[in-house]
Each structure stands twice: as C-alpha cells, then as structure tokens.
Structure 1
C-alpha cells in the first residue's frame, strides 16, 4: 500500500500554504497579537471561498468533495502559521449551519467546559449559559468557561461536533506547529554563532533539533494514518503524540533560541501557548488516554 501523498494532495497543501503566506504572514500574526482581539472576517470569508470549511462537503451540496486526509493536510498548514479563530468548529458546521461553509458565519462550540471566541461567534453549539471569561495563555484564543452539565458531556447533543474528527483536526494543527518550531530552531541554529561557530555545529543543539524532527515525523505519520483509518483509538493515539510533539518542540525551540526565546519578539512562545490551549481542546490528554487504555 502506498501512503505517499498524491499529486492532487501535494497541490492542495501547496495552494493552502500559498494562500496563508499571502493573507496571514508573520506581520499579520504580530498585528493580530497586538490588535483588539477581533477576528478578521475578511480572511474568514476568503478561507470559505477557498473551500477551507467546505472541503469535506459533497460537491452536490456545494462543497469540494474531498475527505478527511485532505482536511488533515489543510489544518496542518493552518497550525504552521497559528491561524486564529474557531477553525475546527466552523469546519465541522459546514453543511449544517447555514453560511459556515462559505465563511460568512463564524461557529464556535463548547468542549470540555471551554468555549473559544465566544464574543466573535455568530453561532454557538452547546449550552453557554453562565459562561464567564477566563484568562487565556494564548493571546489569539480568547476563552470562556461554562458549567458542565450534570448528565452527558458538554455539547454531546450536537451531532456535528464528533469528538474523533475534531480531535484529529486539532492534532493536525499541532503537527503543523511542531514542524514550524522545528524549522525555526534549525534556522536559528544555522545563523546564530558562538565562539566563532554556528551553534548548530554543537552536539547538544544537534540533538535537540534531531529530537524535534523525530517527534514531528512520528506524530505526522500517526495523524495521517488515523485520517485514513478513522479508527477512534488511532485518532486518540495520534492526538496524544501530536500534543506532545507541539509542546516539546516549542520548548526545545525556545531552548535553541536561548534568552531571546523568552522575549515577546520571538514567535516560539506563541506556538508554545497555542499548543497548551489545543492540548485541552477537542479530546484532551485525559480523554485520549482513557480511549487508548480502554482498548488495551
């Protein structure tokens, strides 16, 4: 069996990367961090026009007609650039909530007692009664906490928010973030010099960068495989690996950057904070671990 990406899949990934490089480059990321916290509705509509949200809708329903493996590739690219907004919820709402597929409507959802981008959302799935704002470590993921129901899980009555698919798409974002921080670390290790040599020539730095590559590739392989099988246990395992890769790679990238990595001007801390938030959303580690353990 050939698990390599097809020509169409590579073209899809390249097209999304080109779109995001044009519409959400680093200066746009920094502007969003320093802005008023509003979601860029123009970018949201452009994502809709490009098929980001309608990717898995049948063509007969106005969608692109692709599958979960292609959606994973798209969300991986979103994770690379830290694209903000309730991407997973809006993607899953396409074809269910009018306007979601086209990017005309922003959809968010309750998950595990948390809801992101509540003030900017047009539609919220799940009960947000008693929602209170909480301080988010990620400046581009505003959060509210809502009381958990006494019976059933938060948002359990909403069929569009399947935990497995949401968890896998979140895992794909984590893989994209892990890959980005690994590349950032390597680039810095090549350009930063100490004692007359690039720090990338030092064995300790080489080991950090090699470890980042291994974690990212293992997580990516798990996410891609789970997208093909759609097996709930494999998805849970992929989410665990992707969460670990995103957090660990960001930490190691920060280490490679040294003291500069702790400053606001470095992007690595944004990746670390987003990875922390994603780790608690859409199949947290506790839920994923229980899913894997139950199958052993």
Structure 2
C-alpha cells in the first residue's frame, strides 16, 4: 500500500510549519529555555489556527479533519520542539470549555502517573476522587526533568492501579517524536555539509556518511509506521509506530550529536534539546515495555514454528 499525502494535507503540514517558524523559531526556543514558562499568547494563536480543534466536527466549531491530519500537525510541533501539554489540550477539545480555542490549557495524568506542565494548566484530566489534580496539590510530587521545557510532576495511582494509556495520546506522542527525529536528521546533514575538516566537508568521510544514512532510514521507517497507524488506528500498529518513533528520536539525536562532534555537547548547540525532549517523551505511557508487551500479546499463536 502506498501512502501519499493529498494536496490539502501537504498544505496543512506546510502551514503549521510556517506558523511555528514565524512564532516559535530558534530565537524563541532559546529564550524559552532560559525562561521556561507557557506562552499563553502562542497557545491562543494555535487555537485560532485550529491546531487543537483539527478533529472537532465543523458543526461544533472545529476544523472537521481526521487523525491523519492531526498526526501531520503534531509532527511539525515535534520538529519545532514546541513546549506545553499539546496532546492533552488537543484531546480535550470539545470536552473542556476553551480547549479548542487555546483559551484553556489542559494537561493530563498519564497511565504512568506523570503530569507535564501541572502548575501552568487550567484543567487536569485523568484524576479522580482522592487523587490530586490541582496545581500545588500536596500529593503531586515535582520531578527534576532533564528537559528544561517539560516540567514534570508525579501523581500516585489510585489503589495502586494505573489505567491503560490512551491510544490517541500514544500515537500523537509518536508523531511528535517523528518530528524531533526529522529535525535531528536535518541538523546532522546541514552540519555535515558545511563543517570542514582537512579541507573538505565532514560529510565526505565515510563514518559521517553512515551516521547520516542511518538517521534517514530510521526517520523514514518511523514515518511510514506513524502514518499507517493514523489510518488503521489498530492498537498493535500504534504500539509499533510509537516504538519506532521513540527509537528514531533518541538514537537520531544521539547520532546527530556525534556528527556535530565536540561542539554538539555544548549548551549553545540545539542538539541536546532534541535529545532531552526525546528522552522525556519516552517516559510517557504507551512506549517502551508497555508497547512491547502489547505487540507480544498481538502475536498469533504458533508464530515462529
């Protein structure tokens, strides 16, 4: 089966990228790192552009598109390292007043008990009686996040039982990871073409060529899996897409760092921001062992005989 984006889908993807490059380019990213706080004006602008209401029916004030289009938008958000509880707010559109318009910031407790941007949110979903959901709740323990643009809290599970992860949240997280992996590939190739050693671009050296080629392969494999899962919405497809996207983002950022050499380890380079965001996203529910267990359970009896 061939997956070709339609003209409208390509236009949507380009429009989201243009908006984010204009509104959250590199200067804005670095400023946010130095002073991490949620940009409410940007949030409202995203709402006005229909980012959060993409899948909401037109009759309810939404854009009326589907999950594949949402995946394309979140891929661009991941490429730009856009901070904030994007997935939770998008999934709350139509169910929480003001979420679709970007007036209300919504976060959620995932199945692992992690909450992103708890103190900046207006609404916290996924909490019940006896479980803290309000900013500053005594049982919500702040965690030291490796990513300066993803503040984290840990909330204890009710009765020691964690709910199953939301498949749509898992898939949209995979789309963000795909975008970050794409950005890592772009940065690596750009550096390999422009940085010179011994009178020639470092991309002329075989070891660097191999790193860049592996980066591209992982990105395209993850892209095919994420796009396919957006069409089928099968749990196994979503789990596979998430695992591939997590790998593409984390290993891609690491390889991008290697292509950059010593300067890739510096605070001034953006590579570490890609790696840190990818690391944090892998901790969201639905990835890692959870995804592997789901795929294992889907394997037909007798496979491998």
TM category, shorter = over 0.9
Is it true that 1:236 corresponds to 2:245 in the alignment?
no
For residue 214 of structure 1, what is the aligned residue in structure 2?
A: 217
Residue of structure 2 aligned with 1:143, choices 152, 157, 162: 152
Paired residues for 1:73-112 under 5 Å: 73-111=72-110, 112=112
Moved more, 141-150 or 52-61: 141-150
- Between the aligned partners of 1:3 and 1:182, the Cα distance in structure 2 is 22
Paired residues for 1:177-192 under 5 Å: 177-192=180-195
- Between the aligned partners of 1:47 and 1:7, the Cα distance in structure 2 is 22
Q: Provide the TM-score with structure 2 as the length reference.
A: 0.93
Cα RMSD over matched residues?
A: 1.1
Shift of 1:2: 4.5
Q: SS of the residue aligned with 1:108?
A: strand
Listed one character per residue, the Cα deviations across residues 158-205 of structure 1 (whole Å, up to 9, x for unaligned) are: xxxx61110000000000000001010000011111111110000000
Is it true that 1:4 corresponds to 2:7 in the alignment?
no
- Between the aligned partners of 1:282 and 1:255, the Cα distance in structure 2 is 29
For residue 18 of structure 1, what is the aligned residue in structure 2?
A: 18
Q: SS of the residue aligned with 2:12?
A: helix
CA contact (8 A) 2:246 2:287 kept: no
- Between the aligned partners of 2:54 and 2:34, the Cα distance in structure 1 is 31
CA contact (8 A) 1:170 1:282 kept: no
- Between the aligned partners of 1:9 and 1:285, the Cα distance in structure 2 is 30
Listed one character per residue, the Cα deviations across residues 215-236 of structure 1 (whole Å, up to 9, x for unaligned) are: 0000000000000000000000
CA contact (8 A) 1:114 1:143 kept: yes
| Gaps in structure 2 of 5+ consecutive residues | 133-138, 300-305
For residue 226 of structure 1, what is the aligned residue in structure 2?
A: 229
Shift of 1:150: 2.0
Shift of 1:135: 0.2
CA contact (8 A) 2:239 2:287 kept: no
Shift of 1:126: 2.4
| Gaps in structure 1 of 5+ consecutive residues | 157-161
Q: SS of the residue aligned with 1:133?
A: strand
Q: Provide the TM-score with structure 1 as the length reference.
A: 0.96
Runs of 4+ more than 4 Å apart: none
Shift of 1:87: 0.2
Residue of structure 2 aligned with 1:163, choices 163, 166, 169: 166
